[in-house]
């Protein structure tokens, strides 16, 4: 259960937030605010501007500023008199981050192969936090906005009424604090003006003790070269990175209430044209109208030629981890995925282009007529794709494929194999993860493409060479028709039980000199009884967990799960044709 100091009076309309897995997260526990289900236009107004004790930080700058006294100062990643807007400075900050080894947590667990490292305005050198996927993108934007006193807010909905979380705290349409949420200015300290270089770093003991969920383990994350201690969570990390402690308390609430659906929402971000890609953008995957998705911040962009792009992505996960910063070759797959707003139709019948996925960019909060608006920046209007321009939205994944095509076939092959193996690794921890099963099959599609075009191999030959028993056991399932997909609390121990069952099944078939299609781990007519019984047989009954609705599950009553076409891939060779 996600933790916050205050009770949450606002209930989520089921299935609107969440992250997916990519070596990565399993479906996020859904608790928070719903996103808008209606078409959002730029003219949709936000809350009234009204001073209150809910304020988290004061506004001293605007995102479009270039020539003000503050805008002319040097910052964490730019020189004085840069001539850049704060939005471009945000890009510079993300670009300035280093790709480094991830933390080693207590117990020796390494959270990610590579993560990010950055410098704060106070000169602290800090590695990335342990977060879920959408939270990484939100954390990046909030951190920069709070450091430089820029406006920020996100919109959620409860029972159809908007609620706003941002620099002004948690307020309603009239600009009034929402009951049940903290008055940040009254309750928490801001030590930005009292602290000076050389002083001990101030701490907020309440913030330092906060965790967001049982998987919130920030131990081992480096701050000025020193690992956070055992037991540290998100609150401890925020306490070490913000002088204004109110920001950390706000980030805890944003983590609880917002997810991938909100970053797909037109009130928060806007669609951007593929050639305009830059660091600080977010790539959003949405494969269903309601339910989980995935978010990957863009960390770097290179243009070897005017027609080509090389970009890298980072992502958080659930169980939470430090942002995993992938290579350009590994990141290319995501840009070309049809779930990022491309052509085709999602599980629930909705065209991908209508789900809010794809290349997204943060809107700029501005004041007009005494009310906050979230607008497309004036200097980026030429790169803006309106939410209802579905053809232009759907064209981007294929355009990215052309612009990011891997020139070295061997690199493309090895990248696809690596993505397959990363999905397999995740399935060892979360064997019910349907999104990870799909990630694996998407990686196989990439492998089929390169092996066919560059190495002359058929799909059947690729399957024979590269597929393993576990790929058939953890077969891809139709998300909207399979209750297994809602079961997020499966464990490594359960994966071991399932694979032991599969191994013995194949050994028995081999002893009879027959080939048997492995039994896929999914809801069968007897539910999951065969694996539960096997667990007891091998003395591991205590390791088996009953199915639970860990995310909103419209298909909870399904009597049997439905494999996709990929999930029906034949394990046994086809019989030889008659002469």
Render pLDDT for 540-550 as a digit per residue (tens, 0 to 9): 999 999 999 98
Assess whether 386 and 413 both reside in one domain.
Answer: no
Which H or E element spans position 165?
strand 161-166
Assess whether 378 and 443 both reside in one domain.
Answer: no
Q: Quick check: is 30 in a domain? A: no
The number of domains in the chain is 2
By CB atoms closer than 10 A (0-12, 13-18, 19+), residue 197 is exposed
Q: Quick check: is 97 in a domain? A: yes
Q: Which residues pair with 98 in a beta bridge?
A: 117
Assess whether 460 and 494 both reside in one domain.
Answer: yes
Q: Specify which of 194-208, 257-271, 475-489 reaches the highest per-range mean pLDDT.
A: 194-208
Let me know: does 255 contact 5? Beta carbons within 8 Å. no
Q: Specify which of 14-28, 98-112, 294-308, 500-514 reaches the highest per-range mean pLDDT.
A: 500-514
Assess whether 413 and 390 both reside in one domain.
Answer: no
Query: How many Cβ atoms from other residues are within 10 Å of residue 42's Cβ?
Result: 16
Q: Quick check: is 424 in a domain? A: yes
Q: Looking at beta carbons, which pairs linking 228-235 to residues 24 or more positions away fall under 8 Å?
A: 230/106, 232/208, 233/130, 234/129, 234/130, 234/131, 234/210, 235/206, 235/207, 235/208, 235/209, 235/210, 235/211
Q: Quick check: is 546 in a domain? A: yes
Assess whether 206 and 313 both reside in one domain.
Answer: yes
Domain boundary among 399, 434, 460: 399
Q: Quick check: is 222 in a domain? A: yes
* pLDDT > 90 in the chain, percent: 73
Domain boundary among 348, 369, 399: 399
**pLDDT at residue 20 tops 70:** no
Q: Using CA atoms, how far apart are residues 296 and 385, in angstroms rounded to an integer?
A: 19
Instruction: Tell me what the pLDDT averaged over the chain comes to.
Output: 89
Tokens representing 102 are: 């991830």
Q: Using CA atoms, how far apart are residues 225 and 522, in angstroms rounded to an integer?
A: 45
By CB atoms closer than 10 A (0-12, 13-18, 19+), residue 399 is middle
Tell me: the pLDDT tens digits for 500-535? 999 999 999 999 999 999 999 999 999 999 999 999
**Cis bond leading into 319, ω under 30°?**
yes
Assess whether 413 and 389 both reside in one domain.
Answer: no
Query: Model confidence at 449, in pLDDT bands (50, 70, 90)?
Result: confident
Q: Specify which of 98-112, 234-248, 400-414 reaches the highest per-range mean pLDDT.
A: 234-248
| Entry pTM | 0.80
Residue 278 CB-half CA count within 13 A: 15
Q: What is the mean pLDDT of residues 406-413?
A: 84
> What does the pLDDT read at residue 496?
97
> What does the pLDDT read at residue 42?
47
Per-residue DSSP letter, 400: H
Assess whether 217 and 83 both reside in one domain.
Answer: yes
Q: Quick check: is 12 in a domain? A: no
**pLDDT at residue 297 tops 80:** yes
Query: Model confidence at 108, in pLDDT bands (50, 70, 90)?
Result: low
Assess whether 279 and 302 both reside in one domain.
Answer: yes
Let me know: does 457 contact 451? Beta carbons within 8 Å. yes
Angle at 170 between CA 166 and CA 175, to 5 degrees: 95
> What does the pLDDT read at residue 26?
29
Tokens representing 4 are: 């916050």
- Containing domain of residue 49, as a range? 45-399
> What does the pLDDT read at residue 3?
32
Assess whether 361 and 236 both reside in one domain.
Answer: yes
**pLDDT at residue 397 tops 90:** yes
Residue matched to tokens 């009879």? 512
Assess whether 249 and 199 both reside in one domain.
Answer: yes
**pLDDT at residue 30 tops 60:** no
Q: Quick check: is 31 in a domain? A: no
Tell me: the pLDDT tens digits for 125-159? 999 999 988 999 999 999 999 999 999 999 988 88
Assess whether 350 and 420 both reside in one domain.
Answer: no
Let me know: does 104 contact 228? Beta carbons within 8 Å. no
Q: Quick check: is 104 in a domain? A: yes
Tokens representing 477 are: 């399932």
Residue that wins the pLDDT comparison between 287 and 20: 287
Let me know: does 78 contact 66? Beta carbons within 8 Å. no
Domain boundary among 364, 399, 434: 399
Assess whether 262 and 348 both reside in one domain.
Answer: yes
Query: Model confidence at 110, in pLDDT bands (50, 70, 90)?
Result: low
> What does the pLDDT read at residue 405?
84
> What does the pLDDT read at residue 109?
54
| Phi/psi-derived region of residue 225, left when phi > 0, alpha when psi is between -120 and 50, beta in every other case | left
């Amino acid at each position: 259960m996600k933790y916050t100091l205050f009770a949450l009076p606002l209930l989520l309309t089921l299935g609107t937030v969440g992250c997916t897995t990519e070596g990565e997260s399993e479906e996020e526990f859904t608790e928070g605010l719903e996103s808008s289900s209606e078409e959002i236009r730029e003219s949709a107004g936000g809350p009234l501007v009204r001073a209150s004790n809910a304020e988290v930080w004061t506004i001293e700058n605007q995102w479009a500023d270039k020539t003000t006294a503050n805008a002319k100062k040097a910052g964490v990643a730019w020189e004085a008199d840069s001539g850049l807007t704060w939005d471009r400075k945000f890009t510079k900050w993300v670009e300035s981050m280093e790709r480094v080894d991830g933390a080693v947590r207590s117990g020796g667990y390494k959270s990610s192969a590579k993560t990010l490292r950055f410098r704060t305005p106070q000169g602290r050198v800090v590695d990335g936090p342990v977060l879920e996927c959408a939270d990484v993108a939100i954390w990046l934007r909030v951190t920069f906005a709070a450091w430089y006193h820029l406006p920020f807010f996100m919109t959620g909905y409860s029972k159809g009424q908007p609620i706003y979380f941002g620099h002004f705290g948690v307020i309603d349409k009239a600009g009034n604090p929402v009951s049940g949420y903290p008055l940040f200015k009254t309750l928490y300290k801001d030590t930005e003006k009292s602290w000076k270089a050389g002083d001990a770093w101030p701490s907020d003991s309440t913030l330092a003790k906060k965790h967001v969920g049982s998987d919130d383990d920030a131990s081992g994350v480096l701050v000025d070269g020193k690992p956070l201690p055992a037991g540290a969570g998100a609150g401890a990390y925020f306490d070490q990175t913000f002088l204004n402690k109110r920001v950390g308390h706000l980030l805890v609430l944003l983590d609880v209430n917002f997810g991938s659906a909100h970053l797909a929402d037109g009130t928060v971000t806007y669609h951007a044209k593929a050639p305009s890609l830059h660091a600080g953008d977010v790539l959003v995957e949405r494969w269903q109208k309601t339910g989980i998705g995935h978010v990957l911040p863009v960390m770097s962009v290179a243009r070897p030629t005017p027609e080509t792009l090389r970009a890298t992505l980072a992502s958080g996960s659930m169980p939470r981890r430090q942002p995993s910063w992938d290579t350009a070759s590994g990141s290319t797959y995501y840009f070309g995925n049809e779930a990022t707003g491309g052509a085709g139709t999602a599980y629930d019948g909705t065209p991908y282009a209508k789900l809010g996925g794809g290349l997204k960019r943060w809107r700029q909060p501005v004041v007009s007529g005494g009310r906050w608006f979230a607008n497309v920046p004036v200097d980026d209007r030429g790169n803006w794709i309106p939410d209802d321009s579905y053809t232009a939205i759907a064209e981007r994944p294929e355009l990215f494929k052309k612009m990011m095509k891997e020139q070295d076939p061997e690199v493309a092959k090895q990248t696809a194999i690596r993505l397959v193996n990363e999905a397999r690794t995740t399935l060892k921890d979360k064997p019910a993860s349907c999104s990870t099963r799909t990630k694996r099959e998407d990686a196989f599609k990439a492998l089929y493409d390169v092996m066919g075009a560059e190495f002359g191999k058929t799909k059947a030959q690729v399957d024979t060479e590269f597929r393993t028993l576990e790929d058939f056991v953890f077969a891809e399932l139709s998300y909207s028709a399979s209750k297994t997909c809602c079961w997020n609390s499966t464990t490594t121990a359960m994966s071991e039980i399932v694979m032991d069952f599969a191994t013995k099944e194949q050994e028995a078939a081999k002893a009879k000199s027959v080939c048997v299609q492995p039994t896929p781990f999914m809801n069968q007519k007897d539910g999951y009884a065969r694996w539960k019984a096997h667990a007891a047989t091998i003395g591991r009954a205590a390791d088996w967990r009953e199915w639970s609705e860990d995310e909103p599950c419209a298909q909870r009553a399904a009597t049997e799960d439905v494999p996709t076409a990929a999930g029906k891939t034949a394990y046994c060779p086809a019989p030889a044709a008659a002469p």
